[in-house]
Amino acid sequence: MSSRIPGMRDLSISERRAVVAETAGIDVAELAAFDAGGFDGEAANQLSENVLGTFALPVGVAANLTVNGADVLVPMVTEEASVIAAASNGARIARVLGGFHTSSTGPIMQAQIQLVDVVDPHAARLRLLEARAELVELAAAQDPKLAEVGGGVRDLLVRTVGFEDQTYLVAHLVVDVRDAMGANAVNTMAEAVADRVAEIAGGRVVLRILTNKADMRLARARAVLDAEALGGPLVVDDMVHAYKLAAGDPYRAATHNKGIMNGISAVVLATGNDTRAVEAGAHSHAVGSAGRYTALSTFEKDADGNLVATLELPMPVGLVGGATKTHPGARAAVALTGVSSAAELAELITAVGLAQNIAALRVLASEGVQRGHMSLHAKNIAIAAGAGPDEVGPVVARLIADKAFGYDNAAAVLAELRRGR
């Protein structure tokens, strides 16, 4: 299968569904899960609280992605125009020299158990480590299903954390959560061992909860970008300059990383995963070893003058648990990707984040974002100015022709259009 589908933007939704289903090798009926937001009020009532209904966002598909030699179509849910076009664009450039190469650590999550009032924290730390086997066994007993699928508790770590006048002892349960995101799984374990941990350490337990700094669950993506496909050697050099500003300056790093998360959050959401968990993990990871917020990705020039991009970050996503199995839209999105493990999904999402980053950096280091972005955003401006369905097209065409995307111009163009009718 090829994820290269020229002309996809000109198709109707039903034509696009047919092409996408055929390309991905799934039944087009599966994509009906994307009708009217994917599920009805009753299903929504089960998923959250005090439910009033559902709140739909567009789900689209990014094209052109090649990951580890295989093409893949990627579902993305986003309210922001130009995100899906940019991801497809970055993927198109990357595929010239083979697309994305990915890897990941195991799906390891950690839960923290905070102890206060420990009189001898350093000795208590060693007492807990001496009891490692007992505590690991007690935690593991909470989730036989996890052991059955090859996961389970792998280790116990104990740290001391000092702040102001306090020294806290913090025990970490290190758990292989396989195809789950794992928050509930590890929280249950942390609560179950807390009393015994307090007994051994001789203090009192306060917090028992996972850490979203999932730095034992990293996913990585890398791509070599052809200098000519990027626009020439000057664009390569300027993309490196753009990266180095992000690496050195938190003001730029925040926006650089936001661009990465444009792609990542859209796939995380489409697959029913927890966007806040992934975002918290990403931004905590962006505080590098220097203790300063920096870029999540890197860009460097290789010996042939091509640009090499890399991205590594925590990617706690699952295929079981949470909304991943209960939201029909999420199930259809996962089916579209064809992934069969949480690790595979995590790597795919990381590749999309890097594709997004490549596209943003290329356009920023050359023509600037506004021309492309505003052309795609013009529809929203036209609608906000009051254009009806049959007026949006002509208003957008005029905004693009005028290169003037202000609301005032949209309102003036709309008034002129109506006067002419």
Q: What does the binding site for ligand NAD look like in residue numbers (CB under 6 A)?
A: 143, 145-146, 149, 151, 177-185, 187, 210, 212, 274, 277, 318, 320-322
Please say if 283 is a catalytic residue. Answer: no
Instruction: Indicate left, alpha or beta for 112 from its phi (over 0: left) and psi (-120 to 50: alpha).
Output: beta
> Which among 180, 216, 182 has a CA at the least distance from the CA of 341?
180
The rounded distance, in Å, linking the Cα atoms of 255 and 17 is 33
Looking at the Cβ atoms of 185 and 193, the one nearer to ligand NAD is 185
**At closest approach, how far in Å is the CB of 57 from ligand NAD?**
18
Exposed/middle/buried for residue 137 (C-beta within 10 Å: 0-12, 13-18, 19+): exposed
Catalytic annotation, pick one of 101, 172, 327, 373: 373
**At closest approach, how far in Å is the CB of 149 from ligand NAD?**
4
Looking at the Cβ atoms of 189 and 365, the one nearer to ligand NAD is 189
Looking at the Cβ atoms of 88 and 212, the one nearer to ligand NAD is 212
Other C-beta atoms closer than 10 Å to the C-beta of 320 total 16
> Which among 183, 161, 124, 132 has a CA at the least distance from the CA of 316?
183
Residue 274 near residue 268, CB atoms below 8 Å: yes
**At closest approach, how far in Å is the CB of 340 from ligand NAD?**
11
Catalytic annotation, pick one of 30, 80, 191, 237: 80
**At closest approach, how far in Å is the CB of 111 from ligand NAD?**
10
The residue of the chain with the least Cβ separation from ligand NAD equals 321
Looking at the Cβ atoms of 32 and 206, the one nearer to ligand NAD is 206
Q: Which helix (H) or strand (E) holds 414?
A: helix 407-419
Looking at the Cβ atoms of 214 and 360, the one nearer to ligand NAD is 214
The rounded distance, in Å, linking the Cα atoms of 353 and 261 is 6
**At closest approach, how far in Å is the CB of 58 from ligand NAD?**
22
DSSP, residue by residue, 49-113: SS--------EEEEEEEEETTEEEEEEEE-SSTTHHHHHHHHHHHHHTTT-BEEEE---EEEEEE
> Which among 153, 150, 215 has a CA at the least distance from the CA of 188?
153
- Alpha carbons within 13 angstroms on the beta-carbon side of residue 401 total 7
The rounded distance, in Å, linking the Cα atoms of 301 and 305 is 6
CA-based R_g, the chain, Å:
24
Looking at the Cβ atoms of 151 and 353, the one nearer to ligand NAD is 151
Please say if 373 is a catalytic residue. Answer: yes
DSSP 293: B
Residue 368 near residue 376, CB atoms below 8 Å: no
**At closest approach, how far in Å is the CB of 112 from ligand NAD?**
11
Catalytic annotation, pick one of 176, 238, 274, 312: 274
**At closest approach, how far in Å is the CB of 277 from ligand NAD?**
4
Instruction: Indicate left, alpha or beta for 409 from its phi (over 0: left) and psi (-120 to 50: alpha).
Output: alpha
Q: In what order do the strands lie in the sheet with 152-163?
A: 152-163, 166-176, 108-116, 204-210
Please say if 258 is a catalytic residue. Answer: yes
**At closest approach, how far in Å is the CB of 377 from ligand NAD?**
30
The catalytic residue positions are: 80, 258, 274, 373
